[in-house]
Structure 1
Amino acid sequence: MKIKYLLGAFAIVAFAQNTYAQYVQDAIRFSTFQPGATSRIRAIGNAGTAIGGDLSSIGNNPAGLGFFTKSEFSFTPEYNGSNVKSSYLGNNMKDTRNAVNLSNASIVFHSRINSPRGADKSKGLLSFNFGVGYNRTNNFYENVSYGGQNGANNIGNYYANLANANHIQGDTRPQEGTLEDVAYGQSLIDLYNNNTTPPTNSYRSNTVGAVGQLSNAMRTGGQSEFNLAFGLNSSNKFYFGAALGISSLRYNSINTFTETGTANILVNGNPVNTPFNSSYIQDQTTSGNGFNIKLGMIVRPVDELRIGVTYTSPTWYNIDDTYSERINTRFSNSNLLSDGQNYPFTYNLRTPQKLGAGLAYFIGKYGFITGDIDYLDYSSARLSYNGDSGDNSDIRMGYRSVINTRFGAEARVVDNFFLRGGYSIQGSPLKTGGTDIKTASGGFGYRFQNYFIDATYTNIKAGSQVVRPYDIGATTPTANLDRSYNNVFLTFGVRF
């Protein structure tokens, strides 16, 4: 099966308006991850490229490891709250989902390089620091619901369109094993005579009158990365680092679109209007592993100023995917009818590479301000399978390059207590119809002896999205979704 056909099927329940018909959703879903971070860096808008001296450097700019003068360990649990508001056919709904995960766990080992006797101990290579870190870089947890009363069309029209498009003349039913064949076998569509000369037949929906429609989607999973990194300190002016990232992903999605209404079907050879309930179910389970390389440098021309640059290679994934689609139908006073197909396959994904830069200005012991900028070209993402390049024209046509910006500040209120705030904008990869993701963040930190605690709250506005439960052309019904997320991060750490 062509990968573009199967991934195109995924888009039926979440088909973005004004995108391409064979929009490859997984390429964008698994390419929009962010560097994992401690609560401190999350609080300043995730703008950690030039900061250094934070365990987030392991998965962001490994040159920042060169700033450590002690070994350090921390772990960061997180709470994620998803809120999705929907509007469909004049009906408003809201759905939520909560999850708790491990966001970050990192350790760095400090090793000072001894200078020759009599040499200036502030010049040359001063330290080599090695870090190991786990980061959660993406969360897929959410529930999405929308529904209403539809008197204009129904999903039977979609099944009928598929049957008419793929029907082999002379056959009395659609091609065996297809979705439209399942719909035909469950009497949701039938072949009708059009009363034309010469005689012609076409498939039509058996549904009569208005139908109640309800779409429910439940999604779980995420992406994570394990990094091995090192950082060097040269003369307290130049800091260099590199990291190997080992990535993994897991994505599970169950989409159920249910219609209730009346259908005109044959009962004992006679056409009868019969109440029915039918559900179209799409189930996707995806897992994969990949790797990438990070290179970074930070320059400190004067004590107050730090300039950072970083490069992240594409992540090369090998992905196993199982997609299934099924129709369950029950007519009044009859047994449940259920049938469908499974489509397992394996493919490769190459995500875009990333270039980043950052500035940080320190105001003595009172704090700092910082800002980051990233460049990615999502149209460079590539899918392939069985040695074939696949059909990547949809990616080139539908995606674009983006610039992501992040900035924040930290202020020392008293000797051991810090306040932080930040803001970030993640550009939409879509050429048309997309919205930027905007994140506001704030938090505090407390240091005592060799221990520290940091707490951060983030509010993410993912913007609005237009989706379609099925596609029948100009009369397709659409739902408007508005997504937002409230997250809390807590970091506990120790220096040793």
Structure 2
Amino acid sequence: MKKLTMLLIIAVFAMPYGNAQEIADALRFSQDEVQGSARFRALSGAFGALGGDMSAVSINPAGSAVFTRSHASFSLSSLNVDNNTTFFNNSGSSSDSKIDLHQGGAAFVFANRNESSNWKKLVLSIAYDKTANYRNQWFARGTNINSIDNYFLAYAQGQRLDEISAFPDESVEDAYADIGSFLGFGNQQAFLGFESFILEPVEDTDDNTAYFSNIAEGTFNQEHDYISRGYNGKFAFNASGQYGDNLYLGLNLNAHFINYERFTRFTESNTNVGSLVTDVAFENNLVTTGNGFSFQLGAILKVTNELRAGLTYNSPTWFTIYEETSQFLATSATDDLGTFSTVIDPAIVNIFPEYRLQSPGKITGSLAYVFGEQGLLSFDYSRRNFRNTKFRPTSDAFFASQNEIMNDLFTTANTFRFGGEYKYQQFSFRGGYRLEESPYKDDSVYGNLNGYSLGLGYNFGNTRLDLTYDRSERTVDNQLFAVGLTDAATLDTTRSNITLTLGFSL
């Protein structure tokens, strides 16, 4: 059917930012995991009042001033992700693993030889930490009373037929590309539903805006595959100093970067009476890259020789994000003439305009008690208001609506981290526990995270070798699609790491 030329001309100037962005994306890029050195992970990240570790600099920038000598460390870890999935009383399990170099950094200590100055030393550092690992894989299978047609109908209803269909002599590839460029992601999804015969217009006219489904009501056998890869990393450029004998102050300027890839494949079949379309296979690929900036201010105070207190302010992280998507849709249908198949494989990569994401800032308070050379106990408390998560520009209508939804769904989340270390000769024995509250008001759909850690270290003198095992668990309801077919698969996810760190004084 022929599109209105004037409509397309207007659409060029009103090009949407692309509605591929979802609230799940904002949350994913706003959360940090306990990564870093083996010693840091062994105490479950409770290092805000301790310092003296390269990964502690990422928690409190004053931590580098605790070093008495220049120091460097590098860490290798093995990640294993186990998922137990429940979808409409059917269960499944999957596992994935990866080994990578996820931490490295060096701190250079410059002592002040002016004895009359209260500033005892200056420390300059650079540290890299992988703040989140997105490697994951899971599979869900079940029998549902809701069909994938709801996804396509949600985008199609209210759209003109000439805005979601191809010219009579236009290829599917060209139509898919043009509709995405001029009219946006939502019209593109409606186009897929129409051209695959899932949707049918109530009236076969250009100005039709109402649609019905060629999939009849009943039950549907559904399967969903999910595979993701990538990480969120941070380079911290750190400066800190010791003032007097008891006060340490520091500043981090952080450069963030995102590399995230996700593949999903959804299949559905039915034998419902009256269904024209009986089988659907729908694939989606997403590639996200981005960069960002944040800063941190921190202080550590020696209240007594044994008791230390720390305070850190983390600014919001201001991300600039780029996204690309590609899609594939295949259906099988049966009519009076027999069974036929439709394949829509545009081989088109949708490149969306860049957008900005502001993740919420964070305040961390810390206490630590050091038992001389024998060991220590440490506690960190962090508070973060996830309602301050924002898509930008806020003048974009879609982003503004998403921000309102996040303000309603999200809440202030607290994080508690405990750690302890006992030293015996050259050996160090460590353990920790952490609780991260859900960023959602309703924690039944996104549960709290519980984690624990155990570690061992050996000090050779100028060189130290540390080994840690840590484990965390969280239950999340993962929606299959953001609109239409919003049924969720429940994931009980366990993430475990074995981390080895080599550290040495310079």
TM-score with structure 1 length normalisation?
0.84
In structure 2, the partner of 1:377 is 385
- Hey, which of these two has a bigger chunk of helix by percent? 2
Contact 2:158-2:210 at 8 Å conserved across structures: no
Question: 1:39 maps to what in 2?
Answer: 38
CA distance in 2, matches of 1:488, 1:297: 31
State the match for 1:367 in structure 2.
Answer: 375
Aligned counterpart, 1:206: 215
Partner of 1:13 in structure 2? none
Q: Note if 1:159 corresponds to 2:171.
A: no
| Distance in 2 (alpha carbons) for counterparts of 1:61 and 1:173 | 53
**1:406 corresponds to which residue?**
417
SS class of match (2:190)? helix
Residue 106 of structure 2 is matched in structure 1 by 107
- Give distance in 1, aligned partners of 2:82 and 2:31: 19
d(CA) in 1 for partners of 2:382, 2:276 = 58
Moved more, 44-53 or 25-34: 25-34
Give the CA RMSD over aligned residues: 2.8
Partner of 1:338: 344
The match for 1:353 among 361, 364, 368 is: 361
Q: Note if contact 2:72-2:106 (Cα within 8 Å) is conserved in structure 1.
A: yes
Asked if residue 128 in structure 1 is aligned to residue 122 in structure 2, the reply is: yes
Residues 219-268 of structure 1, C-alpha deviations (whole Å, 9 max, x = no match): 11110001111221223211111111111011111111112345889xxx
1:486 matches 2:485:
no
- In the other structure, the counterpart of 2:259 is 250
Decide whether the 8 Å contact of 2:364 with 2:380 is kept in 1.
yes
Tell me if structure 1 keeps the 8 A contact 2:330–2:341: no
Letter in 2 for 1:493: G
Cα distance change of structure 1 residues 407 and 254 upon mapping to structure 2, 3 Å threshold: same
In structure 2, which of residues 132, 142, 145 is the aligned counterpart of residue 138 of structure 1? 132
Deviates more, 1:385-394 or 1:230-239: 385-394
Deviation readout 1:325-376 (Å, 9 max, x if unpaired): 4312356975651146735221011111111110010112210000001111
Matched, 1:427 2:437: yes
Give the letter for the 2:382 counterpart. D
**Alpha carbons 2:51, 2:57 under 8 Å: kept:** no
In 2 relative to 1, CA 455–378 (structure 1 residues): closer, same or farther, beyond 3 Å? same
Residue 94 and residue 442 in structure 1: after superposition, are their counterparts in 2 closer, same or farther (change >3 A)? same
**2: CA distance between counterparts of 1:461 and 1:201?**
45
The equivalent residue for 1:180 is: 190
Which residue of structure 1 aligns with residue 206 of structure 2?
Answer: none
Displacement of 1:76? 0.6
| Matched residue, 1:328 | 330
1:167 Cα deviation from its structure 2 partner: 4.9
Q: Which amino acid aligns with 2:467?
A: A
Question: 2:16 & 2:435 partners in 1: Cα distance?
Answer: 35
1:241 aligns with: 250
**What is the aligned partner in structure 2 of residue 287 from structure 1?**
289
Structure 2: where are the runs of 5+ without partners? 1-14, 167-178, 180-186, 204-208
Q: Using a 3 Å threshold, how does the CA distance of structure 1 residues 125 and 275 change in structure 2: closer, same or farther?
A: closer
- Native 8 Å contact 2:267 2:282 kept in 1: yes
Deviates more, 1:460-469 or 1:284-293: 460-469
Q: Is the 8 A contact 1:46 1:406 kept in 2?
A: yes
Give the SS at the match of 1:6: coil
Structure 1: gaps spanning 5 or more residues:
9-23, 194-199, 266-272
Partner residue in 2 for 1:149: 143
- Aligned residues of 2:454 and 2:468 also touching (Cα < 8 A): yes
Indicate conservation of the 8 Å contact 2:224/2:480, yes or no.
no
What per-residue deviation string (whole Å, max 9, x for no partner) do you get for residues 110-165 of structure 1?
2111034xx6xxx8222111111100000111012101234x342234434544x2
Cα 1:90–1:57 change in 2 (3 A) is closer
Q: Structure 2 counterpart of 1:144, which letter?
A: W
Given residue 57 of structure 1, which amino acid in structure 2 is its aligned partner? A
Counterparts of residues 261-276 of structure 1 (less than 5 Å): 261-262=270-271
Q: Residue 94 of structure 2 contacts residue 139 of structure 2 at CA under 8 Å; is this kept in 1?
A: yes
In the aligned structure 1, how far is the partner of 2:16 from the partner of 2:491? Answer: 30
Give the deviation of 1:456 after TM superposition: 0.9
Match of 1:14 in 2: none
Change (3 A) 1:212 1:173: farther
Which moves more between the two structures, 98-107 or 333-342?
333-342
> For 1:219 and 1:125, how far apart are their aligned partners in 2?
48
Q: Higher strand fraction: Structure 1 or Structure 2?
A: 1
In the TM superposition, what is the alpha-carbon distance from 1:492 to its structure 2 partner?
0.6
Change (3 A) 1:477 1:385: closer
Q: Does 1:465 pair with 2:477? A: yes
Q: 2: CA distance between counterparts of 1:240 and 1:233? A: 7
Match of 2:321 in 1: 319
Tell me, yes or no, if structure 1 residue 230 matches structure 2 residue 239: yes
The alignment-based identity, stated in percent, is 25
